[in-house]
Structure 1
Amino acid sequence: MSRWIKHIAFVLMFTLALGACNRMGLAYRNLDVIIPWTLSDYLDMNGEQKSWLNERLKEHLSWHCTTQMPGYLDWLDRLQTMIATNQVTDDALKARTAEAEKAIAETAREITPSAIELLQGLDDNQVAEMNEAFAKDQRKRQERYVKPPLDQQIKKRGERMVKRLNEWLGPLGPSQQQRVMAWSNALGDQNTEWIANRVHWQKQFSAAVAQRQAPQFPQRIETLLVNRESLWTPAYRQAFANTEAQARALFVDLMAQSTPQQRERLLTKIEGVKKDFSDLKCLKSG
């Protein structure tokens, strides 16, 4: 089960720069609030709630596998074709991103009724526990991503990206490593806007849950889960547009600089993910 979820997250995060900060990553980075069953990581569920969650989990995973997974396989085919034919362009990446956004929205929309029902059933102690978990999350991310001096943030961001790329492409050459550092420099103080927007969203989520018996609660949660971008801060909206453009440019340039061995490794890795998806029992029985 966990391996499946991991692969789903991978597919939706892979479009730009192999997991760079992008729409898919931003959506699936917060699985705790997008997929309701993982809220159990944030609060203690009673026996009845756990049983209910397990049943809903089975239903959602069955829906996801039978209705969404075939589209993921097609999406991976298009990604492979782009790489194999040396057609990794800004326009092509925009197209793959739009397709992934649609997949995310469909999944978020599908699980929203479960999220609403789950949240409406929480007691005050559970809500307080969730809010404290949000506060802890905020402190942890501030400490890791915002508190260090900007030059350190840029350096660490570049190192994280190099590590990801090494896994999927193999060791980067000197020019590729320089390109990654240029990408990290171009993002500048992006961490500050990202964390501020995350806090902004969590505050709105908490405020909505505090009024979970109100008539407008279902619509409010649907907006928070399905139309998250409509709630972004103006500063983050601007920062994110830059982040997305920089990620596309990075991937285009890295592919242009890539060796045949690197492209072959990348294609093989994607093929492995496709095989894992294809081997799922729900697809074989469909």
Structure 2
Amino acid sequence: MSCWFKRVALLFIISLALGACSRVGLAYRNLDVIIPWTLGDYLDMSGEQKGWFNERLKEHLSWHCTTQLPGYLDWLDRLQAMVEANQVTDEALKTRTQEAKQAIAQTAKEITPSAIQLLKGLDDQQVAEMNEAFAKDQRKRQEEYLKPSLAQQIKERSERMNKRLNDWLGPLSPTQQQRVSAWSNALGDQNQQWIANRAHWQNQFSAAVAQRQSAEFPQRIETLLVNRESLWTPAYRQAYDNTEAQARSLLVDLMAESTPEQRQRLLKKIEGVRKDFNDLKCLKAAKQS
């Protein structure tokens, strides 16, 4: 159970999202590393823009750490209790998933005004660079995820999931490996819908940024960042619902087949995430205030 949830407004989201899962400390302690790493994929900011972004990012990280992370610890408690009681059910996973979505939406809403301000200040060359970065992203994902045959896509998806699960549970039994293969088969051509919807979102984002001085721009960006689901293609909405259901079913079955050693390893990984959160100075300060 690694991150269940997964672009220039999302620059903020990307930076903040690194605070989840295994890179907690990096997001809060090494802003000088994160900022060029994330922004370099989208556009070349001026020195003034970088300075402004640094300050805004620090403010958002402080807000996130002091107001949001305590809730993440509670979420981890609930997740840990499920594993300890060996009660990983579809209904419980639905609830944990909805809680995580709400947390992501709250963070997206908080940082949207800063994202709007940054985007309004882009010049035409920066917008062109951003659009080219989107196009490059689309070509890369099509090459990696769509060019292989469907059988190969299914095989590679299964291999990626096995690798993630091995990290969190340890080696899978033959029965568990077969279940992962069945999960990957059940998703079929999900790659096609996922990448098509991603391109659909990026195209709408580019169209909005092209009109960044219009009165409607802030609302369009808020919709793109906070209410992304309202812009999904019908085909992707159906594929996404199926993907979520298949993921829950997979996790329920894997945990039902899990050994005490696997559950202990998972609990240790969850505890590691908790420790990363608790070790953050900003969180310690929030607890003491």
1:1-286 equivalences in 2 (<5 Å) = 14=1, 18-19=2-3, 24-25=5-6, 32=11, 34-35=13-14, 38-286=38-286
- CA shift, 1:31, in A, is 5.0
Q: For this pair of structures, how many residues does the alignment match?
A: 264
* DSSP 3-state at the match of 1:41: coil
- CA shift, 1:147, in A, is 1.0
Normalising by structure 1, report the TM-score: 0.90
* DSSP 3-state at the match of 1:205: helix
5+ residue gaps, structure 1, are: 1-13
CA distance in structure 2 between the partners assigned to 1:97 and 1:205 by the alignment = 26
* DSSP 3-state at the match of 1:87: coil
CA distance in structure 1 between the partners assigned to 2:121 and 2:76 by the alignment = 39
Contact 1:88 1:255 in 2 (8 A): yes
- CA shift, 1:32, in A, is 3.9
Q: Which position in structure 1 is the counterpart of 2:18?
A: none
CA distance in structure 1 between the partners assigned to 2:158 and 2:41 by the alignment = 30
CA distance in structure 2 between the partners assigned to 1:54 and 1:224 by the alignment = 23
CA distance in structure 1 between the partners assigned to 2:87 and 2:172 by the alignment = 20
CA distance in structure 2 between the partners assigned to 1:221 and 1:35 by the alignment = 16
What is the one-letter code of the residue matched to 1:87? Q
* DSSP 3-state at the match of 2:44: coil
Kindly tell me: are residues 197 and 55 of structure 1, through their superposed partners in 2, closer, same or farther at Cα, counting changes over 3 Å?
same
CA distance in structure 2 between the partners assigned to 1:87 and 1:228 by the alignment = 32
Contact 1:33 1:39 in 2 (8 A): no
* DSSP 3-state at the match of 2:127: helix
Contact 1:183 1:250 in 2 (8 A): yes
CA distance in structure 2 between the partners assigned to 1:147 and 1:234 by the alignment = 23
Normalising by structure 2, report the TM-score: 0.89
- CA shift, 1:33, in A, is 7.0
CA distance in structure 2 between the partners assigned to 1:129 and 1:217 by the alignment = 20
Contact 2:190 2:239 in 1 (8 A): yes
- CA shift, 1:60, in A, is 0.3
5+ residue gaps, structure 2, are: 16-34
CA distance in structure 2 between the partners assigned to 1:72 and 1:158 by the alignment = 29
Q: Which position in structure 2 is the counterpart of 1:4?
A: none
Contact 1:193 1:236 in 2 (8 A): yes
- CA shift, 1:41, in A, is 3.3
- CA shift, 1:151, in A, is 0.2
CA distance in structure 2 between the partners assigned to 1:111 and 1:31 by the alignment = 9
